[in-house]
Chain A
Amino acid sequence: MTSVPISHILFVSTALFFIGMYGLFTRRNMITMLMAIELILNSVNINFVVFNKYLYPDKLDGIFFIIFIITIAAAEAAVAIAIIINLYRSHRSIDVEKATEMKW
Chain B
Amino acid sequence: MSASAIIFYIIAAFILAAGIFAMTTRKIFRSAIWLLFSLIGIAALYFWLQVEFIAAVQIIVYVGGIVVLIIFSIFLTQQSGKEMPRQPIVRTIASALTVLCGFGLSFLQIWKYHFRPAGKEFSWTVTKIGSQMLSTTTGGYALPFEVVSMLLLAAMVGCIVIAMKAAPPKANLEIKQVEKINEGPTITVKEISEV
The contact size tier of chain A is: 35 or more
Give the residue name and chain of the A residue nearest to B13 (CB). A12
Contact among A9, A77, A82 with B66 in the assembled complex (CB-CB below 8 Å):
A77
**A72 contacts B5, C-beta separation under 8 Å:** no
Contact B1 A3 (CB under 8 A): yes
**Cross-chain contact B163 with A85 (CB below 8 angstroms):** yes
Count, A-B residue pairs, CB within 8 A: 212
* B91: contacting residue among A4, A26, A35, A83, CB under 8 A: A26
Chain B: CB-nearest residue to A83 = B162
User: Is the beta-carbon distance between B117 and A72 smaller than 8 angstroms?
Assistant: no
Q: Which residues of B contact A86 (CB under 8 A)?
A: 162-163
B120 to chain A: closest residue by CB: A57
Q: Chain A contacts of B152 at CB under 8 A?
A: 71, 75
Q: Are A57 and B28 in contact (CB under 8 A)?
A: no
Residues of the B chain whose Cβ atoms lie less than 8 Å from the Cβ of A4 = 4-5, 8
B residues contacting the other copy or chain, number (CB 8 A): 79
Q: For B96, what are the chain A residues with a Cβ–Cβ distance below 8 Å?
A: 22
Q: Residues of A contacting B4 with CB < 8 Å?
A: 1, 3-4
Within 8 A of B (CB), among A1-29: 1-4, 6-12, 14-23, 25-29
**What is the CB-to-nearest-CB distance from A26 to chain B, in angstroms, rounded to a whole number?**
5
**Minimum CB distance partner of B117 in chain A:** A54
